[in-house]
Amino acid sequence: MIHEPNGVFPAVCPLDCPDTCSLLLHKENGKIVKVTGNPDHPITQGAICNKVRNMAERVYHPERVLYPLKRVGAKGEGKFERITWEEAVKEIADRYQTLIRKHGAETILPYSFYGNMGILSVDGMDRRFFNRLGATQLQQGICNSAGNAGWRYTMGFGGGTSPEETVKAKLIIVWGGNLVSTNMHQVALIEKARKQGAQLVVIDVHRNRTGQRADWFIPLYPGTDGALALGMMHVLFERGLVDEAFMERYTHGHAELREHVKQYTPERVAAITGVPAESIVKLAVLYGETSPAYIHIGNGLQHHDNGGMTVRTISCLPALTGQWIVPGGGAFKSNGAYGKMNSTALERPDLRPNPGARTVSMNQLGDVLLTLDPPIHALYVYCSNPAVVAPDTGKVEQGLLREDLFTVVHDLFLTDTTKYADIVLPATSSFENTDLYSSYWHHYIQLQEPVIAPRGESKSNVETFKLLAEAMGFEEEAFRDTEEDMIRQALEFRHNPYLEGVTLEKLKEQRAVKLNMEPQQTWLDHLSTSSQKIELYSATLERAGLPPLPTYVPLVEGYDGERRPGKDTPYPLMFVSPPNHSFLNSTFGNVEKLTALEKSPLLQIHPDDAAARGIVDGDDVTVWNDRGSYEVKASVTDRMLPGTVVSQGLWWQQEERTRSRANALTPDRLADMGGGAVFFSTAVDVKRR
Ligand SMILES: Nc1nc2c(c(=O)[nH]1)N[C@H]1C(S)=C(S)[C@@H](COP(=O)(O)OP(=O)(O)OC[C@H]3O[C@@H](n4cnc5c(=O)[nH]c(N)nc54)[C@H](O)[C@@H]3O)O[C@H]1N2
Ligand SMILES: Nc1nc2c(c(=O)[nH]1)N[C@H]1C(S)=C(S)[C@@H](COP(=O)(O)OP(=O)(O)OC[C@H]3O[C@@H](n4cnc5c(=O)[nH]c(N)nc54)[C@H](O)[C@@H]3O)O[C@H]1N2
Ligand code: SF4
Ligand SMILES: [Mo]
């Protein structure tokens, strides 16, 4: 493919998006001129989002980093000179060797996330390198870890309803997700179900694009969803809308739960959530009486102090009504576990000389760099842009400015993070690589083979870590494996029966190969919780010092309906900063066609909150708290309840339109479970500028 100047070639969308679309790259004279959807993929069916239709703009962007760079100005200034790969690799290896001699290998910290979802790029050769090095380990809790942990306390296994099944549902509840922007093919399936009579209910803190389509949109105060789900349980038990036979056979602790939820009366829950008591009853009855009923749990509601418990609580609902055994019913949080690959073979933890090496949270990068003892002296960032995406970016920036910190950033662009780098390495785009992709939503594994040659001197993560391993003198075979060797190793995994039959040969032939979903038919009988049942009562949680039964726990920072704004918190408004439609986290924040669509960062503010501050639509306003400030334009709207303000999108600071970042305001506390990030548990105030 790489040597053919013209033609249409298969590809995979590499972005951190549940859809993992199958793509077609149209080449003319050796260049990709168009990106379209591949109609052969059974789920994504040839439709792709506007972002990735513009992917060629990103691949051929004039500002792509094409050569290794070395810092010449001060940290933060962003001044670099070109160097060779030999110089860059030698400098990194020399610095690492000196630091290891002086301080030990744990003074080196890798920082990465899923800027490219290719498993070889982010869970492959990179892990081998940092394991062999003995670096400090990174807990990657920035995205979905609180919710996933909460789900597993209830269900054991990290999978739920299959997308194909959801078209059968008659009631679909989208809870804390903006699927129109973040999971467009699930929306297509929902629309199919609606044509057959299904109702769509959206529960969110603001009427986002998905809420605007709903048959019923239910706004609530941030972080109060657990209380709403408990109020629904109260009504379901009280009115006998539960499936006793299902609970008896498949659940643990239903008698305790029945007693426990008596305290969550609709009136009390209304006071906490801001949802009227009649609506709570109506929602519970609708859920209890409609079958199949499907709940799609988004990522939004788990970016909170209580995010784990919230998802745990909601995931108990289908167990009360027995919806798990109704085709088209049940729930989804993540389907990542179905496609789990052989991570031991890929990451080679056995290469680590110090298996007990310390672990730090990626959500606390600022603190880690500023206060960890013994300190981090070297940071290696790839597939992530922490200066924009990590909580409390003011602190992150201070850490990155440390003169004695040696920072390497491997990226396609001079992101805000690279401004603090000592060495910048140029990364290939995923269309220049071989890699393997699974989806955390649908059940297809896909193969990417290079369609174009690496641009400039850019290199893939796999190649870069191989070079670094060689320079460090690592002699293990693992560092000589090819991409194809690694794919075979990843797929050979007898502990995951769903992966049976997925091979490199089949992938080369078919591109997208479906997991073997047969084991799913009996999964409820083999749950991996300690009782092997759905745990409405969890002794494991109790041992972890958390409430064993689903329980509403108020946010640390902020308020719910019971703690009125201003009384208990110094800042009266809750600030929610979810993704926007045209970026993918901070990716595309430098692609003009897409930034033009988003115009500039906005703050959606309720008319009551605006009037109280003398703010009118279009005003320049400052959002602030003790951590920092964010300068945005006000958009006065009643999409939220009073007391909540919303600003979508992770903008680059160096973009002309923005002088500040949403994450300057967000706290670096960890959620109740999974070490999750709590971006949306942020209290602020707003003033005119
Ligand atoms: N276009 C686009 N698509 C993306 C991304 C992107 O940046 N842009 N990012 C990708 C990634 S990494 C992820 S993790 C997913 C995330 O996508 P989703 O799962 O859709 O989650 P979010 O967009 O983070 O948040 C969804 C909604 O949660 C709401 N929310 C916040 N707090 C609460 C609460 O307490 N209760 C309730 N009920 N709702 C709340 C927000 O208002 C928002 O509308 O999307 C992926 N897809
Ligand atoms: N306020 C607020 N903050 C948030 C969120 C929110 O909703 N609100 N969402 C959070 C969530 S859910 C997530 S997942 C995180 C995401 O945060 P990140 O994972 O940091 O995602 P991106 O901002 O897309 O940055 C990915 C970077 O990887 C680079 N990259 C892409 N491919 C490759 C490659 O093959 N090799 C290398 N070396 N680099 C590559 C891209 O150019 C880009 O700069 O952000 C979190 N931050
Ligand atoms: S970002 Fe999501 S919807 Fe868009 S092409 Fe990629 S996988 Fe598909
Ligand atoms: Mo994410």
Atom nearest to 23 CA in ligand 3: 5
For residue 40, what is the domain's CATH number?
3.30.200.210
Say if 539 falls within a structural domain. Answer: no
The reply to whether 35 and 122 lie within a common domain is no
The reply to whether 675 and 611 lie within a common domain is yes
Nearest C-alpha neighbor of 447 from the set 482, 483, 418, 403? 483
The reply to whether 97 and 187 lie within a common domain is no
pTM over 0.85: yes
At residue 250, does pLDDT exceed 90? yes
The reply to whether 379 and 414 lie within a common domain is yes
Judge whether 652 and 416 are in contact, CB under 8 Å.
yes
**Integer CA distances (angstroms), 411 to 14, 96, 123, 423, in order:** 14, 20, 17, 11
Structural domain that includes position 592: 573-688
Nearest C-alpha neighbor of 55 from the set 77, 25, 80, 96? 25
Say if 172 falls within a structural domain. Answer: yes
Count of structural domains within the chain: 4
**Integer CA distances (angstroms), 574 to 81, 222, 620, 644, in order:** 43, 7, 19, 5
Say if 554 falls within a structural domain. Answer: no
The reply to whether 632 and 662 lie within a common domain is yes
Say if 568 falls within a structural domain. Answer: no
Atom nearest to 580 CA in ligand 1: 8
pLDDT confidence tier of residue 566, bands split at 50, 70 and 90: low
The reply to whether 121 and 191 lie within a common domain is no
Say if 487 falls within a structural domain. Answer: no
Say if 507 falls within a structural domain. Answer: no
The reply to whether 19 and 166 lie within a common domain is no
Average pLDDT, the chain: 97
* d(CA 114, ligand 2 centre) in Å: 6
Judge whether 623 and 666 are in contact, CB under 8 Å.
no
* d(CA 576, ligand 1 centre) in Å: 10
Bridge-based pairing of strands 444-448 and 512-514 is antiparallel
Mean pLDDT, range 311-323, rounded to an integer: 98
The reply to whether 107 and 199 lie within a common domain is no
* d(CA 679, ligand 2 centre) in Å: 14
Among 116, 205, 681, residue to substitute to test ligand 1 (most atoms within 8 Å of Cβ): 205
pLDDT digits (tens, 9 = 90+) for 193-219: 999 999 999 999 999 999 999 999 999
Mean pLDDT, range 414-434, rounded to an integer: 98
Task: Output the pLDDT for position 529.
Answer: 96
Judge whether 686 and 608 are in contact, CB under 8 Å.
no
* d(CA 167, ligand 3 centre) in Å: 20
For residue 609, what is the domain's CATH number?
2.40.40.20
Nearest C-alpha neighbor of 287 from the set 361, 234, 365? 234
pLDDT digits (tens, 9 = 90+) for 292-308: 999 999 999 999 999 99
The reply to whether 678 and 587 lie within a common domain is yes
Token pair 């379209």 in the structure block, residue: 36
Judge whether 176 and 193 are in contact, CB under 8 Å.
no
Query: Which amino acid residue places its CA nearest to atom 4 of ligand 3?
Result: 49
The reply to whether 106 and 239 lie within a common domain is no
At residue 657, does pLDDT exceed 80? no
At residue 568, does pLDDT exceed 70? no
- Give percent of the chain with pLDDT exceeding 70: 99
The reply to whether 150 and 246 lie within a common domain is yes
d(CA 250, CA 178) in angstroms, rounded, equals: 31
| Residue 366 DSSP symbol | H
Among 121, 383, 655, 679, residue to substitute to test ligand 2 (most atoms within 8 Å of Cβ): 383
Say if 397 falls within a structural domain. Answer: yes
Mean pLDDT, range 33-43, rounded to an integer: 97
d(CA 219, CA 524) in angstroms, rounded, equals: 33
For residue 218, what is the domain's CATH number?
3.40.228.10
Say if 174 falls within a structural domain. Answer: yes
Among 148, 299, 602, residue to substitute to test ligand 1 (most atoms within 8 Å of Cβ): 299
Bridge-based pairing of strands 406-411 and 378-382 is parallel
Mean pLDDT, range 492-504, rounded to an integer: 97
What is the maximum span of the chain, computed from C-alpha positions, in angstroms? 72
The reply to whether 421 and 300 lie within a common domain is no
Query: Which amino acid residue places its CA nearest to atom 8 of ligand 1?
Result: 584
pLDDT confidence tier of residue 407, bands split at 50, 70 and 90: very high
* d(CA 580, ligand 3 centre) in Å: 14
Task: Output the pLDDT for position 106.
Answer: 98
For residue 376, what is the domain's CATH number?
3.40.50.740
Query: Which amino acid residue places its CA nearest to atom 8 of ligand 3?
Result: 21
Encode 509-536: b = buried (16+ Cβ within 10 Å), e = exposed.
eebbbbbbeeebeebbeebebebebbbb
